[in-house]
């Protein structure tokens, strides 16, 4: 399959560090199992998307040093592993997309916690951009989005966004309207965000993990908008 040198798929992934991934799942899974689930979802995302269409895939790690796991993923799929740069999620996304756009052609950025997103969604996003849209979003049921694609820089989409809240997609639409941008939206999907989402996962992704017994009054861990 020939690649379109100007179409770039950018996959954001966190290094599998205990206590830094899927913190919202803390009531249901221990830190080690949350890391294992994160690694499985990351590997599954790359299996589905890297090399699945006429785009070139890049894997972006946070923290920038990455991890042996992410380096192994990049080697397996023969894709570049690059650091995410920026002080917060919005700055990292803006920097990565603008860097890709500077090479010419559209760019689509995705995370790794949307189990039902397949290559058809990525292909639809690139198709919308090729047909004249300035941006494309795939909203999630919780009010965020799990895919964003751009045909041109739109830095206002990444400044002062209430990341990790149910207002992310709504505020992003307001910014697009204010910028006079034309955008399209893919059908909404769901992401792995809270304990109840585990019941929706393919059981194979949960094999060997040990759910925690509910603990009344368990204090929530600090939330991280980039991954649960």
In this prediction, residue 214 carries a pLDDT of 64
What's the CA dihedral at 127, 131, 134, 137 to 10 degrees?
Answer: -30
Q: Which domains are present in the chain?
A: 8-206 (3.90.550.10)
Structure tokens at 77: 């799929």
Q: Which strand (E) or helix (H) includes residue 107?
A: strand 107-110
3-state percent helix, strand, coil for the chain, nearest multiple of 5: 35, 15, 45
Residue 4's pLDDT band (cuts 50, 70, 90): low
pTM of the shown model: 0.90
Q: What is the mean pLDDT of the chain?
A: 91
Model confidence at 213: pLDDT above 90:
no
Q: Are the beta carbons of 223 and 164 closer than 8 angstroms?
A: yes
Model confidence at 179: pLDDT above 90:
yes
In this prediction, residue 221 carries a pLDDT of 39
Burial classification of residue 217, based on how many CB atoms lie within 10 Å of its CB (0-12 exposed, 13-18 middle, 19 or more buried): exposed
List, for residues 44-62, the tens digit of each pLDDT value: 999 999 989 999 999 999 9
List, for residues 76-126, the tens digit of each pLDDT value: 999 999 999 999 999 999 999 999 999 999 999 999 999 999 999 999 999
Most confident of 18-22, 62-66, 149-153: 149-153
Model confidence at 220: pLDDT above 50:
no
Q: Tell me what the mean pLDDT of segment 146-167 comes to.
A: 96
């Amino acid at each position: 399959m020939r690649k379109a040198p100007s179409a770039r798929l950018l996959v954001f992934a966190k290094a599998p560090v205990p206590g830094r991934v899927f913190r919202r799942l803390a009531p249901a899974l221990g830190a080690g199992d949350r890391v294992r689930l994160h690694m499985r979802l990351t590997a599954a995302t790359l299996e589905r998307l890297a090399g699945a269409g006429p785009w070139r895939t890049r894997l972006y790690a946070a923290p920038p040093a990455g991890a042996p796991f992410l380096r192994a993923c990049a080697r397996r799929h023969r894709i570049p592993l690059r650091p995410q740069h920026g002080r917060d999620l919005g700055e990292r996304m803006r920097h990565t997309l603008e860097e890709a756009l500077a090479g010419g052609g559209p760019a689509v950025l995705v995370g790794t916690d949307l189990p039902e997103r397949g290559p058809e969604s990525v292909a639809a996003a690139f198709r919308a951009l090729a047909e004249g849209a300035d941006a494309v979003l795939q909203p999630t049921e919780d009010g965020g989005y799990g895919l964003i694609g751009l045909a041109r820089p739109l830095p206002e989409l990444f400044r002062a966004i209430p990341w990790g809240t149910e207002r992310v997609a709504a505020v992003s639409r307001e910014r697009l309207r204010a910028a006079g941008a034309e955008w399209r939206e893919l059908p909404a999907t769901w992401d792995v965000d809270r304990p109840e989402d585990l019941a929706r996962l393919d059981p194979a992704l949960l094999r060997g993990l040990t759910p925690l017994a509910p603990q009344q009054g368990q204090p929530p861990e600090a939330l991280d908008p980039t991954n649960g």
